[in-house]
Every structure is written in C-alpha cells, then in structure tokens.
Amino acid sequence: MNKKRILFVCMGNICRSPAAEAIMKKTIEKNNLSDKIEIDSAGTIEYHSGESADSRMIVYAKKRGYIVDSTARQFDMAKDFEQFDYIVTMDNENLEDIKSMDVLNNHKHKIFRMVDFCENCTIDEIPDPYYNSASGFEEVLDMLEDATNGLLNRVINDIKQQDKSKN
C-alpha cells in the first residue's frame, strides 16, 4: 500500500507548519500509523530555508511533548504537488499562494485549509504567532491539536475507502 502523504504549509516554515508536522507525527505514532502516513512541512517563501523552527515554537511545543526538529524549506511546485496527497495551508494567504502555483488546477483536490479539520474551534485561519507573545504560540498549538485530530480522521477514512475500492 502506498503511504498517504501530508504536507503542512505556512509562510516561512518556522512556526505553524513545523508545529503541525510535529503534532501530527506524534499523533500518528501514538495510533500506530507510521507505516501508512508520512508528514512534511514547507513554506511559501524561501526566506528561512535551511533554518530550524522558531525557538519559541520549539519550547512551547516541547512543553506539550512535541519535538519540532524539521528544517525550513520552500514549497517546491515541481515535486510537492505530485508527491503529496494533502497540502494543508495554515492561513488564507498561504492558501491563495498555493492555489496560484497550481496554474492548471490539476491539484485543487489536494489543497486544504488546516481550519477545515477543526473539531472544536471555530476560526477562519491559524494565525501566525511570529510577532505575538507566548500566548499566541500556545493558542496556535491549541488550534493545531484540534485540527490535527480532524485531519487524521479524514486521512484514516480515505485509507479505508481506498482499501475498500481495491477489494
């Protein structure tokens, strides 16, 4: 079976998307799904490419048991659209940036907003905590934890449907 592949996308790939990646990785491990789902993250800009995640996000995520250890990279139109089944954006600007790269609309079925998967919070987007205080990072982690559960349920359902169609 091919693994389902999820790519989380924010602007610089140093706060929200690496945190979402870390939360989802831990959730996948906890549910023994590492053999079925792969995770990565990217940014719409290359400004932080090669850097570690924001140190504040690393600290706040670690307090919750998440290890944010990815290296920032820019979204690669040539590879990422083809390699990932779900391209999950953090805010409306990221969403529009990714949609604009999909010039022929060949991949629009793969592009989602993280908030589309929220189970409890009713928000329009995952805000960028970069210029905020500690509470901003904590709030983003709360939102990401909520949305991660909904996204995982969606992926599991998609895997079940894929398995059914093979039988």
Catalytic-residue membership of 10: yes
> What does the block give as tokens for 166?
């093979």
**Which residue in 16, 80, 118, 146 is the catalytic one?**
16
**Helices 134-166 and 16-30, interaxial angle, to 10°?**
50
**Which residue in 80, 91, 128, 146 is the catalytic one?**
128
Residue 3: C-alpha distances to residues 6, 35, 77 (Å)? 10, 7, 20
Distance CA 151, CA 136 (A): 22
Instruction: Give the list of residues 6+ apart from residue 79 with CB closer than 8 angstroms, or none.
Output: none
Catalytic-residue membership of 128: yes
Active site residues: 10, 16, 128
